[in-house]
Amino acid sequence: MSAPRRVARYCDGWCPSNLSPEQAGESIAEVKRLARERGRDPRGLDFSVVLLGQDVGPDADTMRRYADAGVGRLVVVPSESASGSAAQAVRRFAGVVEVAARL
């Protein structure tokens, strides 16, 4: 059984990694369609995307494209998080969080 089918059948949300806004939109549409076919209300599903290994966070336009695709949350994992310099990553990504807060 594919991930979208499992999500539509059993889950209240989905959090795949490294999907583009376009891929996310296609996948979300499929999950919602499958949920409706199973008698579930797709409005109750929550969609996030994890962006792994980011050197630069998404800009405002990209964040809007994710939102338009139905993504309610972006989880950005900076590449520094693997090397132990998380404090530097937090400082570097502060601007990304500020942009997201204004959307």
Domain ranges of the chain: 3-102
- What does each of the 103 residues of the chain score in pLDDT, given as a tens digit? 688 899 999 999 999 999 999 999 999 999 999 999 999 999 999 999 999 887 788 999 999 999 999 999 999 888 766 566 677 777 777 888 888 888 8
b/e per residue, 21-34, with b = 16+ CB within 10 A? beebbebbebbbeb
Match domain 3-102 to its CATH number in 3.40.50, 3.60.70, 3.30.70, 1.10.287: 3.40.50
The residue type at 85: S
User: pTM of whole model > 0.75?
Assistant: yes
